[in-house]
Structure 1
Amino acid sequence: MVRPLPLLMTALAAALAWPSGSVASTSTSAVVQEILDGNELFIERRQAQLREKAVAPELVRTQNSRGQLGFASGAAGRLNRFTQLRLGSSCFLLSSGQILVSGPQNGCTRSSRLSTRGTNYLITLLDGGEEEVAVLEGALELQPLADGRPLAGAPILVAGGNRVRLSSQGALLWQRPLTADDYAAILRGPLFQGFTAPLPGMAALESFVQRRFPGVIAAPARPAVSSDPLVATINRYRAQSGRPSLQPLPADLAARNAAYLAPVLDEVLNSRDCDHDRSRWGAFQERMAATARLMPTSEVIACPMPAGAWNPEVIVSRWMGSPLHTQILINRPRARAIDCVRLERSGRAVAICTLWSPVAGASP
């Protein structure tokens, strides 16, 4: 829902002028870190690219895509579909949609200003002008606003594990605790699923949720990272060819690789079409090249088969019977690391191994 321009600009003026007690509130710029579900993320009227920077007072918006921004404060913000915000000097101004914020970043809407020194929180603008704020971990200070102007009274302190709803004029409608089901729905929802760019506050969020609701974090089924007979078998063939062993990925890159591969492996099992998802692969390569010292340069697929027939020796020997796969696994001298991820479901299994090389200009 698009707000009338005069109200939007009134709220923007308040957002820019309202003083803050936060030590890291600036949102004068933000860099596009990830785009999912197509390419409908825009900075003003131009289609945004990965690593492109938006600066205040530019408008960042999504249509039928999701995206992640890295704010100048060091925080990250994930935008759901059909979301728009404008960057300001002391906060961003959300005018429609939904955003997840992780880290020290203040946010504003027409009916509130949210001040934080670093937390994980979710803002949702609802039809009719109401607003819901969920503090997933940490705490924030909420100053109600009416048409962008502070209301009388002390700000509201919202602790982690609580959510509040405000009217379009900043009146507090209710405050309620988040339940285990609320957390499960959020963590399995569109602001978490499919993203591979890290959230600065994810470790704190996971720890907080695990203490309050053990099992919620572990509930979603995820593919297992192979420590894997596939890797050991590939390295044995490499040794026979006089090539050095491929090393395991660092834990942070292995986690991002598993997040990238989870939907790819799921689609391979669902479709029975054993092929690469080239658009996801290309986007993943770009993200890694921009944010890491290693990037994925090749991948090979162990096609779906009965889980009981899974045999790494047979799988790798088939790869070695293919000139292309032999070139990938043995004869690419820049390859340094390997990570294999396997998914098993309903008695069938599939795996993809990615080979990683140093990013150009980075030390190996």
Structure 2
Amino acid sequence: MIRTDFLLLTALWSAVAWPAASPASPGTAAVVQEILDGNELFIERRQAHLQEKAFVPELVRTRNSRGQLGFAGGAAGRLNRFTQLRLGSSCFLLSSGQILVSGQQNGCTRSSRLSTRGTNYLITLLDDGGSEVAVLEGSLELQGLADAAPRDEAPLLVAGGSRVRLSSEGRVIWQRPLTAADYAAILQGPLFQGFTELLPGMPALEAFLRRRFPGVLPATPRETISSDPLVETINRHRQQSGRPALQPLPPALAAQNAAYLAPVLEGLLTSSDCDHDRSRWGVFQSRMAMTANLMPTSEVIACPMPAGAWNPDVIVSRWMGSSMHTQILINRPRARSIACVKLERSGRAVGICTLWSPVGGGSP
């Protein structure tokens, strides 16, 4: 027996995806901008890579990974783990999971259509077949669907700061305001934490929250200068050379950087050879280039020394005395971020600073 929900999905898909537009038309293509937590993001059955495009009517899905898509019209969509959507010429069709949309991009489920001229909204599909829509800022029109056609009822206008619970048939069960605690949970959740690619609608969302819930947003500026002594010293030399300060890595990338460096630093402390672990470095570079929008492009080593002799000014001065290290730390225009990790054990210390640049675009 063919399941009713499968028939509805098929009918709805025909409505949203046909006739298909050309790849250049708004809404017909999505570019993979970021992949987090591994590489389990797929376009149809193939594993997706950064900057790869998906076209109507291709299926985009995640397993135990998260990702961000850039839609052709300029909007972005962040997919939580175990999310599945199919691209359409008038909207995407979300069939499982959760997506955050930022910008002008319509979304559909099998029982509803969400139309917007540009906003930040969240769709979550529930286990009972229903869904929940949270409009974080702006507004959207929510139209119930029956057999892929609009219901004989006026669309519901959902204003920013509201969430709506829908039944599996697309009928409104309740509508409630989003609280400060709701926003805090969303901003600290998987669709915000760890991402480095900016959302096009983030400035509007931040402005909305400052008016409505000023205590929800962190007080720190988006770009900060690292307080790590080595980084401070490097940035002081960069300032003297007229170069912009290197920014700290986003927390998710900093954690991966530290995990990569842990065995490398251990090896340096137990070996008499102060050199790069080129095999690990190559693997780490390749992995980051495929799963993030920043990748490590160079690293400098503070060779093992007595822990009491550790002095950031002396270490960076030694690097500045080397033309190769000066080129890495000062004269590579695409370098954007830096992370330094120090390991101290049994009275000895060693450290490595890794410089990161945007993925793609030529030499670092």
* TM-score bucket (shorter structure): 0.7 to 0.9
Q: Which residue of 1 aligns with 2:16?
A: 15
C-alpha deviations, 1:60-94, integer Å up to 9, x for none? 11111111111111100011111111111100000
- Do the aligned residues in 1 keep the contact of 2:225 with 2:245 (CA within 8 Å)? no
CA gap 1:150/1:267 in 2 versus in 1, 3 angstroms: same
Q: Which residue of 2 aligns with 1:335?
A: 332
CA gap 1:265/1:358 in 2 versus in 1, 3 angstroms: closer
Q: Which residue of 2 aligns with 1:248?
A: 244
How far apart, in 1, do the equivalents of 2:310 and 2:149 lie?
64
The residue type paired with residue 330 of structure 1 is: T
Structure 2: which 5+ residue stretches go unaligned? 20-24, 267-276, 304-308, 342-350
Question: What fraction of aligned residue pairs are identical, expressed as a percent?
Answer: 62
- Do the aligned residues in 1 keep the contact of 2:194 with 2:253 (CA within 8 Å)? no
Q: Which residue of 1 aligns with 2:50?
A: 50
The residue type paired with residue 211 of structure 1 is: R
SS in 2 for 1:42: strand
Structure 1: which 5+ residue stretches go unaligned? 19-24, 304-308, 344-349
- Do the aligned residues in 2 keep the contact of 1:298 with 1:328 (CA within 8 Å)? no
CA gap 1:162/1:189 in 2 versus in 1, 3 angstroms: same
How far apart, in 1, do the equivalents of 2:290 and 2:245 lie?
18
Q: Which residue of 2 aligns with 1:98?
A: 98
SS in 1 for 2:225: strand
The residue type paired with residue 52 of structure 1 is: E
- Do the aligned residues in 2 keep the contact of 1:223 with 1:262 (CA within 8 Å)? no
CA gap 1:358/1:120 in 2 versus in 1, 3 angstroms: closer
Q: Which residue of 2 aligns with 1:5?
A: 6
**Which protein is bigger by CA-based radius of gyration?**
2
CA gap 1:3/1:265 in 2 versus in 1, 3 angstroms: farther
Quote how far apart the aligned CAs of 1:176 are: 0.5
Q: Which residue of 1 aligns with 2:124?
A: 124
The residue type paired with residue 355 of structure 2 is: T
Q: Which residue of 2 aligns with 1:347?
A: none
C-alpha deviations, 1:290-326, integer Å up to 9, x for none? x89xx752244789xxxxx9953155357679xxxx5
- Do the aligned residues in 1 keep the contact of 2:11 with 2:147 (CA within 8 Å)? yes
SS in 1 for 2:192: coil
The residue type paired with residue 199 of structure 2 is: L
Q: Which residue of 2 aligns with 1:312?
A: 312
Q: Which residue of 2 aligns with 1:174?
A: 174
- Do the aligned residues in 2 keep the contact of 1:223 with 1:258 (CA within 8 Å)? no
The residue type paired with residue 69 of structure 2 is: L
How far apart, in 1, do the equivalents of 2:208 and 2:302 lie?
37
How far apart, in 2, do the equivalents of 1:178 and 1:69 lie?
26
CA gap 1:280/1:79 in 2 versus in 1, 3 angstroms: farther
Quote how far apart the aligned CAs of 1:147 are: 3.7
How far apart, in 1, do the equivalents of 2:254 and 2:109 lie?
35
Asked if 1:263 is matched to 2:255, the reply is: yes
Q: Which residue of 2 aligns with 1:22?
A: none
How far apart, in 2, do the equivalents of 1:84 and 1:206 lie?
28
